[in-house]
Amino acid sequence: MRLAWYLGLGAVVVGLTGCAAWRPSAPTVADSSWAQASQVPRATGPWRVHAMPGKTPGTVTPVWFEGREALSVHVPVALSLVRQPTRVPPEALRSVRFSWWVPQLIEGADLTDRDQADTPVRLVLAFDGDRSRLSAKQQMMSELSRSLTGEELPYAMLMYVWSNQAPLESIIHSRRTDRIRKLVVDSGSTQLGRWRDHWRDIRADFERAYGEPPGALIGVGVMSDTDNTQTDHRVWYGPVRLD
């Protein structure tokens, strides 16, 4: 069996060769204009760039791009994650606003294929929940995460993604763990090379993806990855705001 650690306040993805925990690097975006323009209520820490052992990190640079504060993210056969921990109770969950600029799609990427599941942009939400509902395997993984990193796995993760070919508003279950589900908010090439602005109802989207109400929101992140497809891409993220 192998274990590869993913995101959030202890998120994880199952694989087959060993384990590697997310560890925070220097907070290169913590005091940037992009971080200040982003608004995550009840944040329990700053926006930080995270690196994953065994993965080549991307380059994250706060910039002014096409009329707004942005994060320029370069992923040359790499994976880049920027996250902020928070604690928003279920009754306070409303909407999230985010934007991204993608110049081109990742050739060969397919979010339904575990070996080609790259995407240039993701907005990631991590949630707590009723852990008694988890399977024995998922609970075992969570306990292993706690012993190795001091953090439990999130109960669930919801990712907003740009897909090469999946239909808009479709929900893709991760091939690695059922606790990650991806909601397609952009698809295909017709909207490339421009800012794409999104406003999403967090509660409604979570309920549609998981068939149950969300628990507390415990983390927000943006992630780009090209390591599976061995490609080189640059994208831009606008500020992230929770209403």
Q: pLDDT tens, 96-119?
A: 999 999 999 999 888 888 888 889
Instruction: Select the more confidently predicted residue: 54 or 236.
Output: 236
Least confident of 24-33, 182-191, 206-215: 24-33
Say what the pLDDT of residue 1 is.
31
pLDDT tens digits, one per residue of 18-70: 233 334 444 579 989 999 999 999 999 999 987 766 678 889 999 999 999 99
Give CA–CA dist 223/233, Å, rounded.
13
Supply 22's token pair.
């997310």
pLDDT tens digits, one per residue of 57-102: 889 999 999 999 999 999 988 888 999 999 999 999 999 999 999 9
Residues 6+ apart with CB under 8 A from 140: none
| pLDDT level of residue 149 (50, 70, 90 thresholds) | low
Domain of residue 27, residue span: 2-242
Give CA–CA dist 168/186, Å, rounded.
6
Mean pLDDT of 156-162: 96
Q: What is the pTM of this model?
A: 0.86
Count CB neighbours of 50 within 10 A. Answer: 17
Q: Are 233 and 109 in contact (CB under 8 A)?
A: no
176 residue type, one letter: R
**Tally of structural domains, the chain:** 1
